[in-house]
């Protein structure tokens, strides 16, 4: 702890110690006040300004030091100065003292508390930023809540001091007035119970609860206003408890949860059950990556003591395997399975007619209208196709269409251009290069995988280049043309124009939420890249929710499923309790070789957010199992709170990085530090030992050198 903080603590300790040692508390009793009332009154009559100033300073000090007896001092204010002057003095003195206590708590304790409980305080601070003034005002209206405790606890948050001051000034005014007024009638009071009668306390509680009630009333008025244009269309009864639009990860989980709690639920899917992940994303790409990796290992069989071999394969067979894998997993997300679980599945296009009604244009012909108390929108996302001149003329595929289009080819595209240096583009570029394509990856930015640390981007680039990918960063795509019958992409780099001839072009520059075609515009639901929702995943209509890619902010299958739980539970039980979606620990992985996996902060983000951190790194090239598997490359990098083992974030680069990350995800979710990981037995020899070894590196760097020096002396002594 820094010396200024130690000094402040010492001063506080001395002040409180003096108060106790001198038994000053004897002056802060009801009896002492009544006995001294006449003397105080006379002193005030003789020296009014001096008495007022001394009283003001003493009140500020007592409040700042959180000394018990504020009620007695307040009564004294009324007894000495009368109602209006006493109220003025006490109101400002109490607020200034409270603010000093608030600032002292912040100065002395907040850094320590944030270091120890930073991840848990993050949600509290977000709540304080949004509604802290409201809750502070409510607490100030209820005098049964110790004011000194409010001062100290609020000092640990990120609330602005000015906000704390003015809210406290207003919030304590009513209670201050009661006590000051009681002080003017001090002669008629026999005890403090005369002030704090049950009726008065009940009134204060009602006064404190009033803002909460008022908030509910305001919410009800806003709700009524939002639904006003649809008032005559609200059904008296509903066909369903829940309707879900979209059969991807978010929609499937929402429907599953509803059926599990015996709600009547209908799931609407226009195309393929399982959504993007099963049909176009996670599943087919991982199947392709596996085939490509095996081809790569065959070419480099000498790494395993075998003879290098050129893999002989049918590209059609590789693509057929991709479709076979999809077909094998399809039953998990099928209409039959979900029907068996109790979900009604309708295949067609759903459109919102009003906040409770969905019209379904059935794939088999005809339409059907259903009403529901709540609706979950889980429409997913689609590939973004840039407005590149000439793109339609030369033709292109996306991460959605390539699986069917490339399945028609007899061999891998001879010359493939991949637009985009993100995770999707990088995974596919490496895979097709390993399957024999000459791949050119074009990225407008200065590096690929820009969300990762620079060293990770460089390692990824080197890995792709080693597989033959021509990685062109800082290259801007300009246009596409047919030049002498050949498809050509024109790019700009350092002011010069270059030409890239290709046979196939893959657009992998990102995905955008599906926002059109199902009635959002007609209902006036705001969208900006995604459907706008609050922390409960509600749209402007509290009964309409959004989950998954269409809601953002992440575009991962696992976050879609995570959001779906909140959307479904809030939709079905929100009238009793609403749950805020928790994004505190979100993992993700890019399945290039070596894999890149991350959870929490990396160095790049920590610097952008000015968050202090320490870095501990363990090289997987030193790991026994990785060496045995000829996979000895990559690292585990952990960011921690300076001087603490609290994990801020982890990046893993290496084989099976996505699997290795799970231990850190669990640790961060449940507040476990590196010491806990170090103290956990890991099977030998496994890749998971890398997690233990990085914890050991942290421990070694934070070994108590002074203590170890004395231990060495002890052992020297024991040897004689």
pLDDT in tens, 394-446: 999 999 999 999 999 999 999 999 999 999 999 999 999 999 999 999 999 99
DSSP H or E segment with residue 398: strand 397-398
Q: 159 lies in a domain?
A: yes
Dist CA 230 CA 227 (whole Å) = 5
Q: 309 lies in a domain?
A: yes
Q: Are 447 and 457 in contact (CB under 8 A)?
A: yes
pLDDT tens profile 583-597: 989 999 999 999 999
> Is it the case that residue 635 has pLDDT exceeding 90?
yes
- The reply to whether 38 and 158 lie within a common domain is yes
Q: Can you give the C-alpha Rg of the chain in angstroms?
A: 34
Q: 110 lies in a domain?
A: yes
- The reply to whether 47 and 194 lie within a common domain is yes
What's the CATH number where 311 sits?
Answer: 3.50.50.60
- Dihedral sign for Cα 413, 415, 418, 421, please: positive
Dist CA 402 CA 419 (whole Å) = 14
3-state secondary structure of 190: coil
Q: Which of 94 and 259 is assigned the larger pLDDT?
A: 259
Q: 583 lies in a domain?
A: no
DSSP H or E segment with residue 697: helix 689-701
Q: Which residue range(s) make up the domain with 632?
A: 594-705
Nearest one of 694, 594, 700, 705 to 647, comparing CA atoms: 694
* The two three-digit tokens of residue 697, written as one number: 């590196």
- The reply to whether 529 and 502 lie within a common domain is no
Span 6-12, mean pLDDT?
Answer: 59
Q: Are 515 and 524 in contact (CB under 8 A)?
A: no
How many percent of the chain have pLDDT more than 70? 83
Q: 341 lies in a domain?
A: yes
Q: Which residues contact 162 (CB under 8 A, 6 or more apart)?
A: none
Q: Are 512 and 379 in contact (CB under 8 A)?
A: no
- The reply to whether 117 and 262 lie within a common domain is no
Q: Which residues contact 129 (CB under 8 A, 6 or more apart)?
A: 158
Q: 663 lies in a domain?
A: yes
Instruction: State the pLDDT at residue 16.
Output: 57
> Is it the case that residue 20 has pLDDT exceeding 70?
no
- The reply to whether 497 and 537 lie within a common domain is no
- Strand 496-502's sheet: what is its strand order? 476-483, 486-493, 496-502
Computed over every residue of the chain, the mean pLDDT equals 87
- The reply to whether 377 and 409 lie within a common domain is no
- The reply to whether 456 and 560 lie within a common domain is no
- The reply to whether 478 and 521 lie within a common domain is no
DSSP states of 456-507 as a string?
HHHHHHHHHHHTT-EEE-S-EEEEEEEETTEEEEEEEETTEEEEEEESEEEE
What's the CATH number where 640 sits?
Answer: 3.30.390.30
Span 501-525, mean pLDDT?
Answer: 94
Instruction: State the pLDDT at residue 138.
Output: 72
- The reply to whether 373 and 397 lie within a common domain is no
Q: 73 lies in a domain?
A: yes
Dist CA 374 CA 356 (whole Å) = 7
Q: 404 lies in a domain?
A: yes
Span 190-217, mean pLDDT?
Answer: 54
pLDDT tens profile 225-259: 888 888 889 999 999 999 999 999 999 999 999 99
Confidence grade of residue 23 (pLDDT, cut at 50, 70, 90)? very low
Number of domains in the chain: 4
């Amino acid at each position: 702890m820094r010396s200024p903080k130690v000094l402040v603590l010492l001063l506080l300790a001395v002040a409180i110690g003096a108060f106790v040692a001198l038994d000053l508390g004897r002056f802060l009793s009801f009896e002492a006040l009544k006995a001294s009332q006449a003397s105080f009154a006379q002193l005030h009559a003789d020296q009014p300004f001096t008495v007022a100033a001394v009283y003001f300073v003493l009140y500020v000090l007592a409040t700042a030091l959180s000394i018990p007896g504020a009620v007695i001092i307040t009564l004294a204010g009324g007894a000495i100065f009368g109602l209006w002057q006493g109220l003025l003095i006490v109101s400002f003195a109490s607020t200034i003292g409270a603010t000093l206590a608030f600032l002292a708590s912040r100065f002395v304790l907040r850094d320590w508390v944030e270091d120890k409980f930073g991840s848990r305080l993050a949600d509290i601070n977000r709540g304080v930023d949004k509604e802290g003034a409201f809750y502070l005002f409510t607490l100030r209206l209820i005098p049964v809540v110790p004011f000194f405790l409010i001062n100290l606890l609020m000092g640990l948050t990120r609330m602005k001091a000015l906000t704390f001051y003015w809210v406290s000034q207003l919030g304590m005014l009513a209670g201050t007035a009661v006590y000051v007024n009681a002080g003017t009638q001090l002669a008629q009071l026999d005890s403090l119970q005369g002030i704090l009668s049950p009726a008065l306390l009940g009134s204060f509680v009602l006064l404190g609860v009033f803002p909460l009630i008022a908030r509910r009333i305001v919410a009800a008025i806003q709700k009524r206003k939002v639904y006003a244009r649809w008032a005559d269309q609200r059904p008296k009864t509903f066909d369903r408890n829940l309707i879900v639009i979209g059969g991807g990860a978010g929609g499937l989980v929402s429907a599953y949860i509803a059926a599990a709690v015996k709600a009547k639920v209908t799931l609407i899917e226009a195309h393929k059950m399982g959504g993007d992940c099963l049909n176009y994303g996670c599943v087919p790409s991982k199947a392709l990556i596996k085939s490509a990796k095996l081809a790569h290992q065959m070419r480099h069989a000498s790494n395993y003591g075998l003879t290098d071999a050129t893999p002989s394969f049918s590209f059609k067979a590789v693509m057929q395997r991709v479709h076979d894998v999809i077909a094998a997993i399809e039953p998990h997300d099928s209409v039959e399975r979900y029907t068996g679980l109790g979900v009604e599945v309708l295949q067609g296009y759903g459109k919102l007619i009003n906040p409770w009604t969905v019209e379904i244009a059935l794939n088999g012909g005809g339409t059907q209208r259903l009403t529901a108390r709540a609706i979950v929108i889980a429409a997913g996302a689609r590939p973004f196709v840039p407005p590149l001149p000439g793109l339609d003329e030369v033709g292109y595929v996306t991460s959605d269409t390539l699986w069917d289009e490339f399945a028609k080819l007899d061999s891998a595209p001879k010359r493939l251009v991949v637009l985009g240096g993100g995770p999707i583009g990088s995974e596919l570029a490496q895979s097709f290069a390993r399957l024999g394509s000459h791949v050119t990856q074009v990225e407008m930015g200065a590096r690929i995988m820009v969300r990762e640390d620079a060293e990770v981007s460089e390692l990824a680039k080197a890995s792709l280049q080693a597989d033959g990918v021509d990685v062109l960063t800082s290259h801007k795509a300009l246009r596409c043309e047919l030049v002498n019958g050949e498809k050509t992409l024109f790019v700009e780099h350092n002011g010069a124009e270059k030409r890239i001839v290709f046979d196939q072009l893959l657009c992998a520059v990102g995905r955008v939420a599906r926002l059109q075609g199902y009635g959002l515009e007609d209902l006036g639901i705001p969208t900006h890249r995604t459907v706008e929702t609050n922390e409960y995943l509600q749209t402007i209509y509290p009964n309409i929710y959004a989950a998954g890619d269409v809601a953002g902010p992440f575009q991962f299958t696992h976050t879609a499923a995570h959001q779906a739980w909140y959307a479904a539970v809030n939709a079905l039980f929100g009238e009793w309790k609403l749950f805020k979606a928790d994004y505190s620990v979100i993992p993700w992985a890019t399945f290039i070789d070596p894999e890149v996996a991350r959870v929490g902060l990396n160095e790049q983000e920590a610097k952008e957010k000015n968050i202090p951190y320490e870095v501990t790194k363990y090289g997987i090239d030193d790991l026994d199992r990785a060496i045995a598997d000829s996979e000895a490359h990559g690292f585990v990098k952990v960011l921690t709170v300076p001087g603490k083992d609290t994990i801020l974030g982890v990046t893993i680069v290496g084989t099976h990085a996505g699997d290795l990350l799970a231990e850190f995800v669990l640790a961060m979710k449940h507040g476990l530090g590196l010491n806990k990981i170090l103290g956990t037995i890991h099977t030998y020899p496994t890749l998971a030992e890398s997690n233990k070894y990085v914890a050991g590196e942290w421990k070694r760097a934070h070994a108590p050198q002074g203590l170890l020096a004395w231990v060495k002396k002890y052992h020297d002594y024991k040897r004689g």
